[in-house]
């Protein structure tokens, strides 16, 4: 087990801090600028697993005469049934054929392919579609600088040039991400590269997508957006791929779960009820060099983890989320779901199981980031709802990076609350304290969770795509935090132009970016 993961497991396993005297608790809550409402000590949801897990369809695509793989995605309003007999208004993505009324189809592409996605906004308001974890030119990234007006089309096209990974897509409009994701907009984006084919890999059979989201429902069955913890909006019911109270039939001895935390704020501490171990094989942006056995896994919003679980015939282990501790005062931890016990999903193994995939001892993954030429070292401070003392400003470029260079970023969470940190357009590796190279066993990441007071050092390879006028984002991925401004912007430019590149964007630029692709 890796240093970081075991330290985390330790951290999360520590007993909760002793409860504070009531006065202190009140004072703490009182000085939060956020609209924090009193939250119960913990939510407990014990399920009977009566609904078969929905599996998002694989998106249809065609290959045009230039060899470009073309997908269609349209975002629209609809409805779906989560609770028996209750219709909930939703937003979702459809590829034209598949539209479940919630989430979107899984896009699947192979390294080296040229891909175009024709996105249509059928919603009553502006949206964007961000390809979370994708390495692509900034103007196709789908962040707040690529708004798609209601009724309009957006057609990003790029070449898939990164290793196999489980990515995802979601809206990223300025200040509106939490609300649009809550209504149902999100989907998976799988990248294949032909490696690690020994692993279970039959989509929805022994390689099962697991999109975790929490929701509360109001008395009319609508998603409730009331009651925020300091980390954001929490729900008391967990949907897996939009299924409440789910089970998944298992027909093989080994099943791979590709887990995405697509919740807006909830941090999951994943474990099996019988405490069985599982093998972690991949993190956000690629495979580990070798599988890591573990029993607990912390996953914050936007992070992904791929695990393989061994099953014997007839076994029915329950996958759940258990309490965590991230150095936050007890009342705030309770409010943020840190004491919740939530059943997520039951695996239901048949009475005879096929052999299926294996767990190889070594996995194929990119070679680690070398640190012999570090172009820049930066310190990123997360505190309150700010990054380095600033809130997001669409016209301010906070950092300019040389195309194709490697940088070392020290990210410090000096706040007494957890935050997580995501960088667009890159994959990074963690350099343990005191070490001079990344530890590859800590995985390829694009989003990392930091407990209150924690710091991490990230080795980051920046993309080759230069564009001094279109920024990528880096931000806290607790979606309410990013919406209220816990976000900053960087551009990638010719390494000789880092000093001279613009630090401000004029407001016209956004209008241009919205309408044109070059």
Q: Interface with Cu ion by CB under 5 A: which residues?
A: 419, 476, 478, 481
Q: Least distance in Å: CB of 82 to ligand C2O? A: 23
Q: Least distance in Å: CB of 213 to ligand C2O? A: 14
Residue 473 interaction partner, one of ligand C2O, Cu ion, none, beta carbon < 5-8 Å per kind: ligand C2O
DSSP-derived secondary structure letter, 106: B
Q: With CB under 6 A as the contact rule, which of the stretches 24-32, 186-194, 273-281, 473-481 interacts with ligand C2O?
A: 473-481
Q: Least distance in Å: CB of 275 to ligand C2O? A: 31
Residues near 393 by beta carbon (within 8 Å), at least 6 away in sequence: none
Which bin fits 206, alpha (ψ -120 to 50), beta or left (φ > 0)? alpha
**Applying CB under 6 A, does 423 fall inside the site for ligand C2O?**
no
| Of the residues 422, 450, 501, 510, which one makes contact with ligand C2O according to CB under 6 A | 422
Nearest CB to Cu ion, comparing residues 215 and 419? 419
Q: With CB under 6 A as the contact rule, which of the stretches 215-223, 236-244, 248-256, 469-477 interacts with ligand C2O?
A: 469-477
Residue 172 interaction partner, one of Cu ion, ligand C2O, none, beta carbon < 5-8 Å per kind: ligand C2O
| Of the residues 424, 442, 450, 492, which one makes contact with ligand C2O according to CB under 6 A | 424
| Of the residues 8, 54, 132, 256, which one makes contact with ligand C2O according to CB under 6 A | 132
Residue 476 interaction partner, one of ligand C2O, Cu ion, none, beta carbon < 5-8 Å per kind: Cu ion
Measure the CA–CA gap between 232 and 39, rounded to whole angstroms. 12
User: In this structure, what token pair is assigned to residue 281?
Assistant: 């094989």
**Of residues 167-186, those binding ligand C2O (CB under 6 A):** 170, 172
**Of residues 250-309, those binding ligand C2O (CB under 6 A):** 302
- 452, 456, 398: which is closest to 429 by C-alpha? 456
Q: Least distance in Å: CB of 482 to ligand C2O? A: 7
Q: Least distance in Å: CB of 413 to Cu ion? A: 9
Residue 445 interaction partner, one of Cu ion, ligand C2O, none, beta carbon < 5-8 Å per kind: none
Measure the CA–CA gap between 241 and 250, rounded to whole angstroms. 17
Question: End-to-end distance of the chain based on CA atoms, in angstroms?
Answer: 47
Cα distances (Å, whole numbers) of residue 426 to 114, 131, 444: 18, 11, 10
DSSP-derived secondary structure letter, 500: T
DSSP string, 231-298: TEE--SEEEETTEESEEEEEEESEEEEEEEE--SSPPEEEEETT---EEEEEETTEEEEEEEEES-EE
Cα atoms found within 13 Å of the Cα of residue 448, Cβ hemisphere only = 31
Total residues at the site for ligand C2O (CB under 6 A)?
Answer: 10
Residue 260 interaction partner, one of ligand C2O, Cu ion, none, beta carbon < 5-8 Å per kind: none
Measure the CA–CA gap between 467 and 471, rounded to whole angstroms. 8
Residue 419 interaction partner, one of Cu ion, ligand C2O, none, beta carbon < 5-8 Å per kind: Cu ion
Q: With CB under 6 A as the contact rule, which of the stretches 111-119, 270-278, 315-323, 472-480 interacts with ligand C2O?
A: 472-480
**Applying CB under 6 A, does 475 fall inside the site for ligand C2O?**
yes
For ligand C2O, the nearest residue by Cβ is: 132
At 153, phi and psi to the nearest 5? -110, 155
Measure the CA–CA gap between 187 and 202, rounded to whole angstroms. 18
- 72, 71, 104, 101: which is closest to 87 by C-alpha? 101
**Applying CB under 6 A, does 135 fall inside the site for ligand C2O?**
no
Nearest CB to ligand C2O, comparing residues 145 and 475? 475
User: In this structure, what token pair is assigned to residue 517?
Assistant: 């692709």
Measure the CA–CA gap between 325 and 280, rounded to whole angstroms. 21
Residue 296 interaction partner, one of Cu ion, ligand C2O, none, beta carbon < 5-8 Å per kind: none
**Applying CB under 6 A, does 473 fall inside the site for ligand C2O?**
yes
Residue 422 interaction partner, one of ligand C2O, Cu ion, none, beta carbon < 5-8 Å per kind: ligand C2O
At 103, phi and psi to the nearest 5? 60, -150
User: In this structure, what token pair is assigned to residue 68?
Assistant: 């470009």
**Of residues 303-362, those binding ligand C2O (CB under 6 A):** none
Binding site for ligand C2O (CB under 6 A): 130, 132, 170, 172, 302, 422, 424, 473, 475, 477
């Amino acid at each position: 087990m890796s240093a970081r993961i075991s330290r985390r497991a330790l951290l999360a396993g520590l007993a909760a801090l002793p409860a504070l005297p009531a006065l202190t608790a009140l004072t703490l809550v009182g000085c939060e600028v956020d609209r924090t409402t009193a939250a119960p000590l913990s939510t407990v949801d014990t399920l009977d697993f009566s609904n078969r897990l929905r599996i998002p369809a694989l998106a249809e695509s065609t290959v045009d005469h230039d060899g470009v793989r073309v997908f269609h995605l349209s975002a629209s309003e609809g409805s779906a049934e989560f609770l028996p007999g209750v219709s909930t208004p939703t937003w979702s993505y459809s590829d034209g054929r598949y539209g479940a009324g919630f989430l979107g189809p899984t896009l699947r592409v192979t390294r080296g392919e040229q891909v175009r996605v024709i996105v249509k906004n059928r919603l009553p308001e502006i949206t964007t579609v961000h390809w979370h974890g994708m390495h692509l030119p900034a103007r196709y990234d789908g962040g707040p600088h690529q708004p798609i007006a209601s009724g309009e089309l957006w057609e990003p096209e790029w070449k898939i040039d990164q290793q196999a990974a489980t990515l995802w897509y979601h809206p990223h409009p300025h200040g509106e991400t939490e609300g649009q994701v809550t209504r149902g907009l999100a989907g998976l984006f799988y990248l294949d590269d032909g490696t690690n084919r020994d692993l279970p890999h039959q989509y929805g059979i022994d390689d099962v997508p697991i999109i975790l989201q929490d929701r509360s429902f109001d008395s009319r069955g609508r998603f409730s957006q009331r009651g925020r913890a300091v980390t954001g909006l929490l729900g008391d019911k967990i949907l897996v791929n939009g299924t409440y109270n789910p089970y998944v039939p298992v027909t093989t001895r080994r099943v791979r779960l590709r887990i995405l935390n697509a919740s807006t704020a909830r941090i999951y501490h994943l474990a099996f009820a019988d405490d069985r171990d599982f093998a972690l094989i991949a993190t956000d942006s690629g495979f580990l060099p070798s599988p890591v056995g573990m029993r607990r896994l912390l996953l914050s919003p936007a992070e992904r983890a791929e695990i393989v679980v061994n099953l014997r015939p007839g076994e029915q282990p329950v996958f759940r989320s258990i309490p965590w501790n991230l150095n936050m005062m007890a009342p705030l931890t309770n409010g943020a779901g840190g004491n919740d016990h939530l059943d997520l999903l039951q695996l239901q193994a048949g009475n005879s199981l096929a052999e299926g995939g294996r767990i190889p001892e070594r996995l194929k993954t990119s070679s680690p980031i070398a640190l012999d030429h570090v172009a820049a070292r930066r310190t990123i401070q997360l505190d309150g709802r700010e990054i380095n003392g600033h809130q997001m400003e669409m016209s301010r470029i906070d950092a300019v990076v040389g195309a194709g260079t490697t940088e070392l970023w020290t990210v410090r969470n000096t706040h007494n609350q957890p935050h997580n940190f995501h960088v667009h357009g890159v994959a990074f590796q963690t350099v343990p304290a005191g070490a001079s190279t990344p530890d590859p066993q800590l995985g390829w990441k694009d989003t990392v969770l930091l407990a209150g007071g924690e710091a991490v050092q990230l080795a980051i390879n920046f993309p080759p795509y230069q564009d001094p006028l279109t920024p990528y984002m880096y931000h806290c991925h607790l979606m309410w935090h990013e919406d209220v401004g816990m976000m900053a912007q960087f551009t990638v430019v010719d390494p000789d132009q880092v000093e001279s590149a613009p630090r401000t964007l004029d407001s016209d630029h956004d209008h241009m970016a919205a309408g044109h692709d070059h």
